[in-house]
Structure 1
Amino acid sequence: MLFDINGGEWIILLLVAALVIGPARLPGYAEQLGKLVRRGRVFLREAKARVDEELGDEAKDVDWASLDPRRYDPRRIVREALLDDPTPPVRPVTKQSASTPATTAVRGGAAAAAVPAVPVSPPFDDEAT
């Protein structure tokens, strides 16, 4: 419904408008309102055609009803996110070539530090914020 106004309220609004504006000027204002509504409809029709033309086939596949903010339910979104269990990406393990030494000498040659042959990745917490 238009502005959630019922028929009785429309009649009261029209009577108040007729009294405030006056019966002599009321037809002119009604005509201007009619022109404004027609121009608004033409503008909206052209804007919709322009959006459809620029978005092309991509816009035809969009479910606009699902994007309605009145259908927003944070509990459903959280539930779907918790049930959706994507596997974390796995890093490929590279083997160190035989020509690369497993240990390197520390400056001054006083001590040798062991270098792991396979790089260790830091722990990954997929539930961290």
Structure 2
Amino acid sequence: MFNDIGALELVTIVVLGILIFGPDKLPKVVQDVSGVIRKIRAFSDSAKQDIRSELGPEFKDFEFEDLNPKTFIRKQLAENEDLQDIRSSFDLRKELNEVTDAVNSRETEAAPDLLKKPAAPAAERRTWSDADAT
């Protein structure tokens, strides 16, 4: 539940608790909060057991964490044999290397054309007057 709380956050919570409740009342507040958390856990566990018993024996290994969309998709991808065959036959690194080699070979073929100097434009004969105006 509190796996992502670091030491600095924990120290900050303790200091704020001491400042807000005082050192005399802090142990009682911690006991009350831990009791509430225990009751919430017991309530959720009993609710899960009630749901599992109502669903029947087909869902005895049902986990509520599987309802998380990310977990559900990950589980379905891992269990589907057709997708595993496709995954094993497709090597992304190999495909990317082939594309990179193809692009690099095109660049080396086109590079000599790019390095050539363009031909000088033919010298045009310019007149001092406008032919259409006269």
TM-score band w.r.t. shorter chain = 0.3 to 0.5
- Normalising by structure 2, we get a TM-score of 0.45
Structure number having the greater helix percentage? 2
- Normalising by structure 1, we get a TM-score of 0.46
Higher RCO (CA < 8 A, seq sep 6+): 1
Structure number having the greater strand percentage? 1
